[in-house]
Chains A and B, each alone.
Chain A
Amino acid sequence: MHVAPRRLFENVIVVQYIGLVCVTLLTLFGFQAAFGNVLTRANLEVLAMNMVFEGIMALGMTFVIITGGIDISVASVFAFSEILVAKLMVQAGFAIVPAILVTLVAAAAIGALNGVLIVLFRVHPLIITMGTLLTLRGVNLAITDGHSVSGFSDAFLFLGQGKILGINVPILFFAGAALVLGVLLGQHRFFRQLYFIGGGERAARLSGVNVSRVKIIIYMLSASLAGCAGIMAAAKYGAAHWAHGNLAELKAIAAVAIGGANINGGSGTIGGTVLGVIFLAVVHNAFVTSAVNTFWYDVVSGMMLLIAVLLSRFIALRNARALLGLKQSKMDQLSATSKT
């Protein structure tokens, strides 16, 4: 994906990706052998659709995490978008396109609010987005009074349940978004700035990066993607409910972490996140295939996050050790060849 050739650092990342792909394939084939029915078209669809919305949110999360921030409000924006688009169409009589547009604008506005508050108050994004999460969750509950909203037209349902060229619409969206965002992150100078911000805000600012503007745009992007996901989810489930998207932020963060991004910022790629999403989808599906009790979902999600982070920690420690090994051999070399 990158035109410019890189060196030492990227080789390590490539190894990580290959490792991830291997583990994913192993799990896939392993469960196929144990339980059968995994590699069928039907199951693969279920597998993909299960994580597609969290995957879309993970794409936005990648940008936010690279800048060293975090956005845990995505799950509530997701639910909010579901509810808003539903209410606009069903209760306010909007046509599909205007309803979607208004919802996307609303989602972007929430993202902008996040960004503005973070920039203005210079408080850790965790707190601000947590506040947004709480507030929106409460709002979602309040405006629906706990009920779901349904009654969509078939045209709208197509957005979530339909297929183009045999592939589900949401999955197409995910793939398309991943492609575009990946190219932008790798090649477009606006998005390259994310790494500069993640590497050191003060320095970036002094170099002329408009840190505030970039951050606000990034949080808007994250919220907008959550909004897109929410709209498609409403279409897929045929109903909007305030409790949808529970723990979605956890899965999105897990995907980004597994994909090799440093949670503290400064590194990460869309490609890695995509691999992380696929990995999580496979593992989740494996568990679903084998387990019966649906109450285990949350336990599994939590475990996945912990494993994901343990994995990236393990890889980081192993990389550090490898680096030390390099240094040691350099030292030995140098002392062997010296005479003084």
Chain B
Amino acid sequence: MMTTDATDATASDRPARQAPPLLGALASRQFFLVLINLAIFVALTVLRPDAFPSWTNLKAVLSLMSYDLLIAIAMTIVLIVRGIDLSVGSVLALSSVTMALLMRSGTPVVPALLAGLTVALLCGLVNGLLVAVVGILPFLVTLGMMSVARGIATVLTTGQYISFPNAAPWFTQFGRHEFQIPSGLGNYGLPVTLLIGLALAVITSLLFSYWTPLRSFFFVGESPEAARLSGLKVTRLTVAAYLLSALFVWFTAVLLISANKIGYANYGVGAELRALAAAVVGGASLAGGAGNIFGTFLGVLMLALIGNGFVMLNGNPNWQQASVGIVLIAAVGIDALRTYRDRR
């Protein structure tokens, strides 16, 4: 009996994808990614033994990673249903701006957060409806939404930082809070944002692998027509995917404004492409029907390590953006080569 190999032969013009696990075993792609991450980690430790492996540096990398992780999960969810969401970064900005403005003008924290959630869900709903009901290509819909959302955020704030000093202190403090782990060697603080991000990732990963309602997402993405005839409510599920994605975007916005104590219309610029890079590296496919949260996590980790590597070795942060693009092309290239080989 064969075990499921994630990169088996596939349809002719599609990139390699992973089927939902029948056995739940780690597929070879994730293994490969873990290796890569380890390799980068080791390389950086060797090259910068003083700066890189310090807890301060690692903590910074991991904290920043939390936001990218949640956005990348949002992207993964949409990719599974054969969609794409280029508006994640902009909706992040819009949601953060909404919450910040409300809190600045005196609204208590919880209603403000709910308002931010509503805004994000609304964007997700529009995206989902235009894609699933009207039938416009997700790429085009979310490209337009990206522009609109960020535009509105900019209009509302005229590009300025929005602080909310009057908000309840528990909110502004929790974003930077760290759980102290007492250890004989010194103090190691675990940022709350990291823990929340990881927790959400783990929960989502398990849900998508084992919870039946979410498994149908995969079928919708793999072949919407077949899914429809198989009795799956394709429209409903597609819209749900975009709403779920919006939920994760909101999570990120909440953590972000709590940590930075400001709402800002330029949050998340370029986030959608980083998220896409991470998700595709992790096993998702633009053709739908595939996606792995753990893989996405590994992808985000890899991008974070590479970015940190640039800072360690080069010092010029401007090359970081370029590096993400190269990673995307390289990762997809390697992936396509493996598929091409396996296909023969």
Contacts and interface: CB of A to CB of B under 8 A. Distances in A.
**Chain A partners chain B:** yes
Nearest to B272: A130
A306 interface: yes
Given A134-B321, A134-B322, A295-B158, A127 B140 contact: no
Contacts of B340: 121-122
B267 to A, nearest CB: 15
B151 A117 contact: no
B336 A123 contact: yes
A121 B336 CA distance: 6
B47 interface: no
A264 B138 CA distance: 12
A299 B147 contact: yes
Contact of A133 (B15, B325, B333): B325
Contacts, number: 149
Interface in B306-340: 316, 318-326, 328-329, 332-333, 336-337, 340
Interface string B63-80: 000000000000000000
Interface stretch (A19-27, A29-37, A137-145): A137-145
Given A137-B321, A295-B155, A123 B141 contact: no
Contacts of B13: 122, 201
B286 A124 contact: yes
Interface string B137-160: 101110111111111101100110
B304 interface: no
Contact of A134 (B136, B139, B143, B270): B270
Main SS at interface, chain B: helix
B159 A263 contact: no
A298 B340 CA distance: 41
Indicate the size class of the contact surface on chain A: 35 or more
Contact of A142 (B152, B154, B316, B326): B316
Contacts of A126: 84, 139, 286
Interface in A71-125: 117, 120-124
A203 interface: no
Given A117-B333, A121-B333, A127 B130 contact: no
A250 B325 contact: no
Contact of A310 (B136, B152, B316, B320): B136
A124 B332 CA distance: 10
B119 interface: no
Interface string B265-295: 0000010010011001000001100000000
A181 interface: no
Contacts of B325: 130-138
B134 interface: yes
A138 B322 contact: yes
A302 interface: yes
A257 B325 CA distance: 27
Nearest to B316: A142
A232 interface: no
Interface in A267-308: 293, 295-303, 305-306
Contacts of B277: 131, 134
A127 B332 contact: yes
Q: With a 10 A CB-CB cut-off, give which of B135, B144, B155 has the most chain A CB atoms.
A: B144
B217 to A, nearest CB: 20
B323 A138 contact: yes
A135 B329 contact: yes
Contacts of A123: 15, 332-333, 336
A231 interface: no
Nearest to A145: B318
Given A127-B332, A134-B325, A141 B318 contact: yes
A84 to B, nearest CB: 15
A247 interface: yes
B151 A299 contact: yes
A255 B141 CA distance: 15
A288 to B, nearest CB: 14
A264 B137 CA distance: 9
Contacts of B286: 124, 126-127
A123 B134 CA distance: 27
Contact of A263 (B12, B140, B319): B140
Given A135-B326, A138-B321, A298 B150 contact: yes
Interface string B11-23: 0110100000000
A250 B337 contact: no
Contacts of A128: 329, 332
A130 to B, nearest CB: 6
A228 interface: no
A141 B150 CA distance: 21
A301 B324 contact: no
A64 interface: no
8 contacts: A70-B139, A123-B336, A133-B273, A135-B322, A250-B144, A295-B159, A296-B155, A298-B154
Given A134-B270, A141-B318, 5 more contacts: A122-B13, A135-B325, A138-B318, A138-B319, A142-B321
A-B pairs, top 7 by smallest CB distance, nearest first, are A302-B147, A138-B322, A138-B321, A135-B325, A134-B325, A299-B151, A298-B151
